[in-house]
Structure 1
Amino acid sequence: MAGYFRTALLLAAMTALFVGVGYVIGGRQGMAIAFVLACGMNLWAWWNSDRVVLGMHNAQPIGPQDAPRLFQIVGELAARAGLPMPALYVIHEDQPNAFATGRNPQNAAVAVNTGLLDMMSEREVAGVVAHELAHIRNRDTLIMTLTATLAGAIGMLAQFGFMFRGRDHDGRGNAFGPIGTILLVVLAPIAAMIVQMAISRSREYEADRIGAEITGDPNGLASALLRLEGYKQGRVNEAAEANPASAPLFIINPLSGLRMDGLFSTHPATANRVAALEELASRMGGPPDPGTRIPQAGWGVPPQQAPGPWSQGARRNPWG
């Protein structure tokens, strides 16, 4: 419950920041106009976010005939989570990763990179899928859409403040003056981004926990996280780099330039997530898994002479 409470507080902080920026720029009238605009943006994002993000990454829908074993695993895990079967998509991307999207469980999708199917065992893929199903069950996909939209609205308001120099509630001009307006333009979007990143990190820990409970195998997810972190090194996800706003959706940060567990990181440090999963495994009565030990630098790079069956596009699907 602590994770949900923290997320609620962060969303409240994001909303307060949005309202405050609107008031500073245009007083009550400016705040009201900005609120209406944000509501329209949120409504559009609520209905269209899944199609937008899937299109960003050129995700291709797949059916049971394309990957029957993958569909069987996802269907069994969805049933254990009390969820309808999500739509499945594959992204032809060497960097192993996955994300979930959709406004609710009835309109949800799980997208997996071909790199993940190439490099992960069934146990590890099950852990990753369960993590994404946890995001769907927790409505995290909707939460992240709202935070991204609010962050964008705050940036837009700050730009309005710079362009029009705003009016206070007495119509005398922005009470902060030119210097204050410039600070608002710079600092408000940064503050919104920090809150957005904090919400993302909080939801990742919660999805790890619930995903591990769905499979009953925290060590399987911990092993998958370590392998994903190791295998992503040197593999640039071009679509994610071009659309960094989608980074919080992925199970592992897909951006090559953000590797710290700090203010500007979209995800917690993998070592911290693994430690939490190992603690959960201990509480559940399972012994620590040797496969979840933190690897040395450079661990997990697959041999170049033996690429996985998905990497050549038309080659045989390992989940068929």
Structure 2
Amino acid sequence: MSAATPKGRAMTSEHLLEVHDLQVEFGGDDGPVPVLRGVSWHVDRGETLAILGESGSGKSMTAQVIMGILDTPPARISGGSVRWNGRDLLGLPEPARREVRGRGVGMVFQDSLSALNPVLRVGPQIGETLRTRLGLSRREARDRTVELMRQVRIPDAEQRYRQYPHHFSGGMRQRAVIAMALALSPDVLIADEPTTALDATVQVQILRLLQALQEESGMGLVLITHDFGAVASIADRVAVMYAGRVVETGVVRDIFRRPAHPYTKALLDAVPRADRRAGRLAALPGQPPVLGKESTGCPFRFRCPLAEAVCEEREPVLKEHAQGHWSACHLGKDVIADVLTAHS
């Protein structure tokens, strides 16, 4: 089974969570507007997959589809599947889908302020799920909540239980949100930009916490981010998204050392590094393509310094250019080998 589960390949149920050829569109005045265009990736138990890309690439929307919280309409899931333990979630009725949500797959949202009700105490908010979903008594839910708060390294959990969100720092609020996501012991945890708006020191603490929690429980972890530092810190594999599809995927080490797509290479070149001389950082010119605008060829070709005639003629599909390393680029092998020269 490939790391990318490309279109046309037979699927198996061996992966803990598998997204295959997922397609989402929105209604427009001139017809449906495709937003997700065949997204495929998987994560296994005890593994961390990072989903990387610019804003608007479809990272968070994919997570919303998995969790069953995408508004439909105006969105419409027009193709593909999402399998958890071999079970297709998209075909489940809402009551069954609700059972999977939290138990099978949990999610940490990026904005901890909006995830917590400011007028309710933090502890009871975390424990609400335990009472409604597991039927625990008030005392049992309280004890379990305090245990969860300790698990996510919230100090003085007994006292913190009765405090309000405004008594918590940004990092502590994010820990509380993580505790909420872990309440039902999910098999997979999706963390959507979990370090947004946190200072650098707290970002590292949150990432290390997620890593430790994963190692303790053996759950699969999907980290949605635009931060290469976070990816390098805790991820095993990475899937790079552009314009609503995965354009490169593989082991983190391989992608960092030898990217196989010009987009990934451009993102890496824009990251500050200690081993580079001081000066202006490389910038990726242009903007992502406009959704719904008819176009043939590779969506990245307008921003790509390596684009050739074939890039305008047809859109590339994911190919395995090295073992376990896939990219949707006509020139992928040459990008890996770094034998191409940028041209205008």
**Higher helix share goes to which structure?**
1
The answer to whether TM tops 0.5 is no
Higher relative contact order structure (alpha carbons within 8 Å, sequence separation ≥ 6): 1
Report the TM-score, using the length of structure 1 for normalisation: 0.28
**Higher strand share goes to which structure?**
2
